[in-house]
Structure 1
Amino acid sequence: MNQLHWLLRAKRWVQNPPSPGRVKLVFAAVALCLAIVGIEHFIGWPDWMTVNSLRQKP
């Protein structure tokens, strides 16, 4: 039943495709996320973005 739902959704998407601006927006968001992941992987996580513990250590 779930496959039928996705086929109907794909049919509607083909009949009314998104605008080129929406497609560019989605690709830009994905590219930004991949760039952040790549920077984090190759360069590392900056110390200023690390959360400090709020608990006092004995």
Structure 2
Amino acid sequence: MNNMIWLMRAARWVRNPPSAGRVKLVVAIVVVVILLGTADWMGWVPEWAQMDRAPRRIPGS
């Protein structure tokens, strides 16, 4: 059932493809996310820019 929904969506994209500006925007967002993830993985993000880890469970429950 879910495959049919994706097939319909793909058919709609073939008939009305996104504009070049939209494609560039999505590619730019993906590149920024990959760069931020890589910088964090390599340890290049300063301490002040990192979030403290949340506790695994709420105390007292």
Following TM superposition, the consecutive aligned residue runs of length 4 or more in structure 1 with deviations greater than 6 angstroms are: none
The alignment of Structure 1 onto Structure 2 pairs a total of residues equal to 52
What is residue 20 of structure 2 aligned with on the other side? 20
Gaps of 5+ in 1: 53-58
CA–CA separation in structure 1 for the residues paired with 2:14 and 2:22: 15
Q: Larger Cα Rg: Structure 1 or Structure 2?
A: 1
User: Quick one: percent identity of the two aligned structures?
Assistant: 44
CA offset digits 1:10-54 (Å, max 9, x no partner): 0001100000000000000000000001111113442212456xx
Structure 1-normalised TM-score?
Answer: 0.76
Structure 2: how far apart are the matches of 1:31 and 1:46?
Answer: 20
> TM-score by structure 2 length?
0.73
RMSD across aligned positions (CA)? 1.6
